[in-house]
Amino acid sequence: MKILKTIRSIEGQIRDWVVPSVTKISKRGNPYRVLISCILSLRTKDKTTIEAAERLFRAADTPAGMLKLSESRIRKLIYPVGFYRNKSRVILGISRRIIEEYSGKVPASLDELLKFKGVGRKTANLVLGLGFGVPAICVDTHVHRISNRLGWVKTKTPEQTEFALRKIIPRREWIKLNTTLVTFGQNLCLPVSPFCSRCAVKMFCRKRGVNKWR
């Protein structure tokens, strides 16, 4: 299967590259940390996300602990992540709901996760995959772009991409697909002027939407 061969080639090329911030945090096996890190990462660079998450989790890394912090304290801890004021409110709201409705534990259900304010399909699927080990395809801007660029899918939105990829990617590959393509997209398969000359899968790529490359 050409798609699997492409994935293996990309994995080989990125083997020694820095993985996304949420993937790093997920290695501790804590769904709550993954969820909060996802919130912090939105519209924020990885380096800033990691640093903010470390500061926040030193102060509180459970829903109950988070509720002991004031909104202003959380704002200070997570600054300068994007939209830090709104995210401090979202973090408190999520933590409160986990305590009140889920006995203090992050729910391992897509439908339940989507009930949280500030949580969309991208975040919910990442929590399921990296936080719980439940097969899920997290489609962010990199996965959406690269899947279309390679010619795997022809879609207009991340949600369309998610459902299209479910049909063609083996279930065993779902969880790690985001980490693989995000790492690839941040370092080589860039949105503008990607490094096609150095790409391990250039022979498989249709270069859809690519007008200029290096």
pLDDT of residue 209: 93
pLDDT at 183 over 90: yes
pLDDT at 152 over 70: yes
pLDDT band at residue 146 under the 50/70/90 scheme: very high
> Shortest CA distance to 124 belongs to which of 41, 4, 115?
115
- Summary mean pLDDT of the chain: 96
pLDDT band at residue 29 under the 50/70/90 scheme: confident
Residue extent(s) of CATH 1.10.340.30 domains in the chain: 21-132
Residue extent(s) of CATH 1.10.1670.10 domains in the chain: 2-17+137-198
Packing angle, helices 84-101 and 31-41, rounded to 10: 150
Which CATH number, 1.10.340.30, 1.10.150.170, 3.20.20.140, 3.40.1410.10, labels domain 21-132?
1.10.340.30
List the Cα angle 115/117/123 in 5-degree steps.
80
At 195, list the tokens: 């490094």
> Shortest CA distance to 49 belongs to which of 13, 100, 83?
83
pLDDT of residue 19: 93
| Residue pLDDT, tens place only, 120-135 | 999 999 999 999 999 9
Q: Of residues 26 and 102, which shows the higher confidence score?
A: 102
List the Cα angle 7/195/13 in 5-degree steps.
35
pLDDT of residue 1: 67
Mean pLDDT of 17-33: 91
At 118, list the tokens: 């500030």
Mean pLDDT of 149-170: 97
Mean pLDDT of 105-128: 97
d(Cα 57, Cα 31) in Å, to the nearest integer? 13
- Separation in Å, CA 80 to CA 13, 38, 44, 75, 173: 32, 15, 9, 9, 34
Burial group, residue 208, by CB count within 10 angstroms (0-12, 13-18, 19+) = middle
Mean pLDDT of 149-171: 97
Q: Give the single-character DSSP code of 152.
A: S
Which CATH number, 3.20.20.70, 1.10.760.10, 1.10.1670.10, 3.30.70.260, labels domain 2-17+137-198?
1.10.1670.10
d(Cα 41, Cα 53) in Å, to the nearest integer? 9
pLDDT of residue 28: 76
pLDDT band at residue 171 under the 50/70/90 scheme: very high
pLDDT of residue 27: 82
Q: What is the pTM of this model?
A: 0.94
